[in-house]
Structure 1
């Protein structure tokens, strides 16, 4: 009897362990099949294990284990695969392409950073990996037809069920890579293109239709509500699932009854959409999405084949990357949405090299902080993975003001980083009314009618991140690669003891309004007595309104679903969640 009890106990324990890892065999009808769609996105060349990045070997092992668990598994990438790490960048993505082949990825969307090194690299990656790119909304301007180097869609058979996969990319690609690399391309509205292609894919026999996109989304941590950057995608008839990327977020859930998923970034998670399908009727019985957060798992093992690939390529470039070029006493911190210590130091180097009055670079062009201690060449590749060069201009004070109007408090692209000038601005003010004063290092105020020498990077120079003002300025030419300039600056200094300066100065402008004209706030009576309806008046900003009611401005923005918290208008009504 005791032996029997022990046996039952062992069986129960074993089933509990299997349940923890999602391996319990679930009884299904003979005519049902479960198809799993696994996805990665925004891998950005994260080949080596570091911090939350589990590395290519463990990522691929997790993919292979999932495919062993369910042979009816398709693996897809949502783009931005290659550019981002020193090992990958020095070899133009070759080791990542080999990793993707070993992982058995079937198709990839085209990310904006797939264009960073030019169009010719895309064909090379496909040759190495054997993985076709899908892109339905990328058109050749010369022919006004979809590009020939990618297929708009593919239909594959999985255990008798036909799965149609349509590739789409963000329209932001036009300015979120080097614009000159994509000047021959048009990135059409992805929702409009999908509306035309989905019926065609259905006509060709697809039982399941997936949108494989490099398009972003955000999910609220508390409510789990999902906001798509292109909401119309979830309103297209016969779309059964949407795979996302670009915004580097953890997303898993349903939008309008459609499962959507985005697997975070850098290979830290595997996104999954699962379909249970009736094989006789070809109808979907059940659909759901989920995330496997690989960085939280302790059971991951290296895939030996991929480990060998990473080790070989790392060894190949090791002598270059491991070279210690100097050290820094203080951390050169960086946050792309703020003026950072790293951003100030970088633009100081740029300004000095070109003997310019002002230097500017985009916050997203710098990717990570430099911790205190030794600095290696490899770290500098992590800091600046993009091969940008110095680009100088003669600009009027008015054009310089436009740079800061566009680059301060820009939540879409991040904050402009700069040197040579102090900028006074009004927090929350509308673009065009944000900059109050610009004072050069010599104490002179920037004259809107005079001209000055400004140095930037070739990405911004060609209109990247929406800095189109450079196209109106007089170009003075391009010189050396910025990463090389930074490396030389560290070598020359040997020891950096750099401290951040106060270059961005917030100013509060008080405006007097006649009492008779000032709109009055009123309490919302109908639904919530803890909500005040506030009518925006001239000169208002969210932080000022929040201060008045002792509510954080971020909470007000979220409560009112403001797409851009910096844009509020006189006469606009805002609901303020207050606590009595």
Structure 2
């Protein structure tokens, strides 16, 4: 593309090789063996400052300087995500300090990562790449090249960018007559990971196919060595996973052609240094039969180093790789006290240190502004190791941000009903503990809030039906092949739901309620989400199908700023807004004294140090029938932390107060967290001597109605509920009554005559799960027919 200045500046090498994107050409030497080093990083994410294991940009640059001094035949390369999801010092200035620091550090080439597209393709080609070129001129270096061989502008499409061109596919550099070529590619999951609207004109193509095509072109054009820079990575550090064709990375490792001599990878933030045998090389009898497959981890913790020894006088006269070595070079090490300190083998680069300090000083002024106060931590969910983020778990932070965004949306669209928040948009916890005299406990600064949500998404409102809301919640279970199996949405207060964790795909959600009322599948609800979700990001495609969609013009970070200013101090809500319910006994059965009611509950607790209930109290008809233990262990990638096996026996005697209740249920209460789960069941307590003479109010001893009833049943809501609560049909008449209101002695679904002495309590039909939070009771049966109530406004 036009931005590839190296192509124009290296005309001699380009003419000799006929290659696009050719880099600087060193003066050839006639040595029989040439050693070429490739230094690699990935997933730097704007970690400018030294912080713990993160070495910082200055030490990274110093290490590259020293290793280059040892061998001038060195390429400094990267596998993407150098910017985006950055620390505040870089984020607050649109990652310009990171781009400047890496330019001054002499970065040569990088694959694009998904975070390079956070602000859309036009931001990358119209702002990021030109800024790199500007800074390269300032520092007297060559601008480093961003490569993306598998990202193409779709046929017939225009990006609308000033630079409406494809990214460069490859880049080369020649040392002592030996040419090294680089191919760049980004994860095929890119459309799920960034706002789809920002890359709408792009096609994301198969990594293996595009790599093999470009690698073949490079070799045909004279490249002696080809390195793939790919923003995709192994799921673990184990070699067997890196070569498993059943995962995304294994498909790449086993699928790229013999033209590829090494793979530098990223995306999964893991450090590994593998050597993978290439069958074609073995068959050809090559001296080197395995290719390096490496990753440096994340945040400037390490450098990958691959050393190729190329024999220019090979036996066949064609030249060949005679040896290859790879290693992970740590940029920080642990001292005797276990603290991370800079690797003493390297010294910080002074120029880059100045860039970092300027960014830190600028951020200190902007970031110190106080926004408000919190009374406790707002955390993301955690995996079972207690530290790693779990995007599959409900979190106090996710729910809080949804609350904030709902409040913000109502400023411009007062009819907004609810909010969803994607877990990947939350990059750091919001902590109660202060950092010093100027940041006391509970204080929330602009910097702290900005790091939580660094993507500068706008808030978008759209209208969905109740059925679509259920579908959005179903989409938390991600499609096969997605980067994570489950993504738990933060939801605003008032939206609560139950789910069956063991149900089939598309059938997990069992109830949804808004402000204590079941949602109407055919009703209309105004929803606010960030612009990433609004365009279907993270595979939440239904959110892109809403109508009357409007951008509020509010930035997510500004919404947080305003909310804290107006509502401080803010406290986390520890009650669950979603609970897993898996019936063991029959939820639709009529239980009698002595029978066991059995149900398994999950998602009763948070996972990041929030209050934990060791036991829950169980009541039936208002009478305590037992306590159950709660297992607080987290289950990785899921929301199943806080599991309880509820097993209770229906008592033989209950007080009249319980028998007289029009609605009662099996209730599981967690006093510390405030979560209450109410499970409707049907119980026949049997004969209760001394209650009455066998007649019901308004009927004679034969159980017949005198016909004067207005036709409504205690369980019907004004006679309009099509859901037949308490046995009322859509006209408000009892299912057991004829048009004149006479009762034949049977209830809907009960073949036995009601004599008025059975003591049956028809609490709620069907065993539909009900969740009570903060005293609000709600239930929803998943209705697939027409809605019983009136709909919302026309779409």
TM range (shorter): 0.7 to 0.9
Structure 1 residue 33, shift from structure 2 partner: 3.2
Q: Find the counterpart in structure 2 of residue 566 from structure 1.
A: none
Q: TM-score, normalised by structure 1?
A: 0.78
Q: Which residue, 125, 129, 134 being the options, matches 2:131? A: 125
Q: Distance in 1 between matches of 2:521 and 2:276?
A: 49
Please state if 1:323 is matched with 2:373. Answer: no
Q: Which moves more between the two structures, 396-405 or 82-91?
A: 82-91
Residue pairs, 1:417-496, within 5 angstroms: 417-419=490-492, 420-440=494-514, 442-479=515-552, 480-496=554-570
Structure 1 residue 344, shift from structure 2 partner: 1.1
Q: Find the counterpart in structure 2 of residue 283 from structure 1.
A: 320
Q: Distance in 2 between matches of 1:176 and 1:139?
A: 17
Contact 1:226-1:253 within 8 A present in 2 as well:
no
Q: Which residue, 450, 455, 465 being the options, matches 1:381? A: 450
Distance 1:132 1:511, change over 3 A: farther
Distance 1:116 1:396, change over 3 A: same
Structure 1 residue 151, shift from structure 2 partner: 1.7
Contact 1:330-1:499 within 8 A present in 2 as well:
no
Cα displacement string for residues 160-209 of structure 1 (whole angstroms, at most 9, x for unaligned residues):
32111111112222231121111111111111112222221111111111
Q: Distance in 2 between matches of 1:508 and 1:434?
A: 10
Q: Which residue, 107, 110, 113 being the options, matches 1:111? A: 113
Contact 2:100-2:132 within 8 A present in 1 as well:
no
Contact 2:263-2:292 within 8 A present in 1 as well:
yes
Q: Distance in 2 between matches of 1:61 and 1:359?
A: 46
**Structure 1 residue ranges without an equivalent (≥5):** 1-29, 513-538, 542-551, 556-580
Cα root mean square deviation, aligned: 2.7
Distance 1:451 1:144, change over 3 A: closer
Please state if 1:172 is matched with 2:185. Answer: no
Cα displacement string for residues 441-485 of structure 1 (whole angstroms, at most 9, x for unaligned residues):
x21122222221211111110111111112221134122111111
Structure 1 residue 222, shift from structure 2 partner: 9.3
Contact 1:397-1:451 within 8 A present in 2 as well:
yes
Structure 1 residue 366, shift from structure 2 partner: 0.6
Q: Higher helix fraction: Structure 1 or Structure 2?
A: 1
Q: Distance in 2 between matches of 1:55 and 1:467?
A: 36
Q: Find the counterpart in structure 2 of residue 392 from structure 1.
A: 461
Q: What SS is found at the alignment partner of 2:180? A: strand
Distance 1:472 1:223, change over 3 A: closer
Cα displacement string for residues 353-401 of structure 1 (whole angstroms, at most 9, x for unaligned residues):
3343221011000101111132211111211110111111111111111
Structure 1 residue 132, shift from structure 2 partner: 1.6
Contact 1:47-1:96 within 8 A present in 2 as well:
yes
Q: Which residue, 82, 87, 90 being the options, matches 1:88? A: 90
Distance 1:225 1:468, change over 3 A: closer
Q: Distance in 2 between matches of 1:342 and 1:110?
A: 30
Q: Find the counterpart in structure 2 of residue 573 from structure 1.
A: none
Q: Distance in 2 between matches of 1:213 and 1:109?
A: 6
Q: What SS is found at the alignment partner of 1:219? A: coil
Larger Rg: 2
Q: What SS is found at the alignment partner of 1:237? A: coil
Q: Which moves more between the two structures, 146-155 or 487-496?
A: 146-155
Structure 1 residue 408, shift from structure 2 partner: 4.7
Q: Distance in 2 between matches of 1:363 and 1:152?
A: 32
Distance 1:220 1:263, change over 3 A: closer
Structure 1 residue 412, shift from structure 2 partner: 4.9
- The number of aligned residues is 488
Q: Find the counterpart in structure 1 of residue 99 from structure 2.
A: 97
Residue pairs, 1:501-512, within 5 angstroms: 501-510=575-584
Structure 1 residue 75, shift from structure 2 partner: 0.7
Contact 2:498-2:509 within 8 A present in 1 as well:
yes
Contact 1:115-1:181 within 8 A present in 2 as well:
yes
Distance 1:500 1:385, change over 3 A: same
Larger RCO, structures 1/2 (Cα 8 Å, 6+ apart): 1
Contact 1:162-1:207 within 8 A present in 2 as well:
yes
Q: Find the counterpart in structure 2 of residue 248 from structure 1.
A: 269
Residue pairs, 1:170-569, within 5 angstroms: 170-220=187-237, 227=244, 229-234=248-253, 235=255, 236-256=257-277, 257-281=290-314, 282-296=319-333, 297-299=342-344, 300-335=346-381, 336-355=391-410, 356-372=416-432, 373=441, 374-408=443-477, 411-412=484-485, 414-419=487-492, 420-440=494-514, 442-479=515-552, 480-510=554-584
Q: Which moves more between the two structures, 159-168 or 120-129?
A: 120-129
Structure 1 residue 488, shift from structure 2 partner: 1.7
Q: Which moves more between the two structures, 383-392 or 121-130?
A: 121-130
Q: Distance in 2 between matches of 1:298 and 1:482?
A: 39
Moved over 6 A (4+): 144-147, 552-555
Q: Distance in 2 between matches of 1:225 and 1:126?
A: 33
Structure 1 residue 36, shift from structure 2 partner: 1.8
Contact 2:237-2:271 within 8 A present in 1 as well:
no
Q: Distance in 2 between matches of 1:277 and 1:511?
A: 70
Q: Distance in 2 between matches of 1:53 and 1:380?
A: 21
Distance 1:499 1:169, change over 3 A: same
Q: What SS is found at the alignment partner of 2:582? A: coil
Contact 2:243-2:250 within 8 A present in 1 as well:
no
Q: Distance in 2 between matches of 1:172 and 1:55?
A: 29
Residue pairs, 1:126-141, within 5 angstroms: 126-127=132-133, 128-129=135-136, 130-141=143-154
